[in-house]
């Protein structure tokens, strides 16, 4: 992803939001941290955008692979990520799952609710004031991105069942979101 950003020329993100799952954190750091400079000590390396962990970007805990690590463990492993919004209470809610686990379909309303909360957060944090638009990168999971695109942004490529076949794992999607009244 980092080489794609460099070669195609879109602006680097001003902020990177990530799910608290290790695989999402690792992906965001690999994709959006500045590459090391090989030009010697005189080269000015670009600064990294702020990385923020948000529990709003999680899928449903359908099994052990979907459970996030404790905030203190993640903060120790990834010191460049801000975990202040990922509290021990959030972790407790995200690291337990009923037996038997819910179906993925039954978790979509909650996923869409978290996506709407995330949009409200983005609008309040980056959408107002008439300043320059912020470029925000999100590192999450395919089901979260699907629910966010369809349920929160109204994007349905092909519609219906075709929409869900449009997605696969390890997807990269770009959305241009402008908040009404923000400019």
For residue range 125-147, what is the model confidence (pLDDT) as tens digits?
A: 886 655 567 888 888 887 788 78
* pTM reported for the whole predicted model: 0.78
In this prediction, residue 29 carries a pLDDT of 92
Low-confidence residues in the chain, pLDDT < 50: 4-5, 182-183
As given in the structure block, the two tokens for residue 24 are 């999402």
**What DSSP letter does each residue of 35-54 carry, written as one string?**
PPP-S-TTS-PPPPPPEEE-
pLDDT of res. 126:
80
Maximum distance among all alpha carbons in the chain? 58
What pLDDT does residue 182 have? 47
- Counted residue by residue, the chain has a size of 183
Residue of 133, 131, 158 lying closest to 146 (CA atoms): 158
169 Cβ contact list (under 8 Å, min separation 6):
142
DSSP reduced 3-state for 136: strand
Percent of residues, the chain, with pLDDT higher than 70: 62
The helix/strand count (H/E) of the chain reads as 7, 4
At residue 34, the pLDDT reads 78
- The rounded radius of gyration (Å) of the Cα atoms in the chain is 17
Report how far Cα 148 is from the mean position of its chain's Cα atoms: 11
Whether 37 contacts 43, CB under 8 Å: yes
CB atoms within 10 A of CB 161: 8
pLDDT, position 89:
74
Contact by Cβ (8 Å): 140, 57: yes
């Amino acid at each position: 992803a980092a080489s794609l950003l460099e070669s195609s020329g879109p602006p680097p993100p001003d902020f990177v939001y990530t799910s608290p799952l290790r695989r999402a954190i690792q992906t965001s750091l690999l994709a959006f941290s500045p590459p090391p400079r090989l030009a010697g000590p005189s080269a000015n390396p670009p600064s990294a955008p702020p990385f923020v962990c948000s529990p709003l970007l999680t899928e449903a805990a359908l099994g052990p692979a979907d459970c996030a690590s404790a905030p203190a463990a993640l903060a120790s492993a990834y010191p460049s990520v801000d975990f202040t919004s990922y509290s021990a209470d959030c972790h407790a809610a995200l690291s337990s799952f009923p037996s038997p686990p819910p179906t993925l379909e039954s978790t979509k309303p909650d996923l869409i609710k978290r996506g709407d909360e995330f949009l409200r957060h983005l609008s309040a944090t980056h959408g107002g004031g008439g300043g320059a638009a912020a470029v925000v990168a999100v590192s999450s999971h395919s089901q979260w991105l699907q629910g966010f695109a369809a349920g929160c942004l109204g994007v349905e490529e092909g519609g219906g069942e075709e929409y869900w076949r449009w997605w696969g794992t390890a997807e990269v999607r770009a959305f241009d979101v402008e908040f009404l009244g923000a400019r």
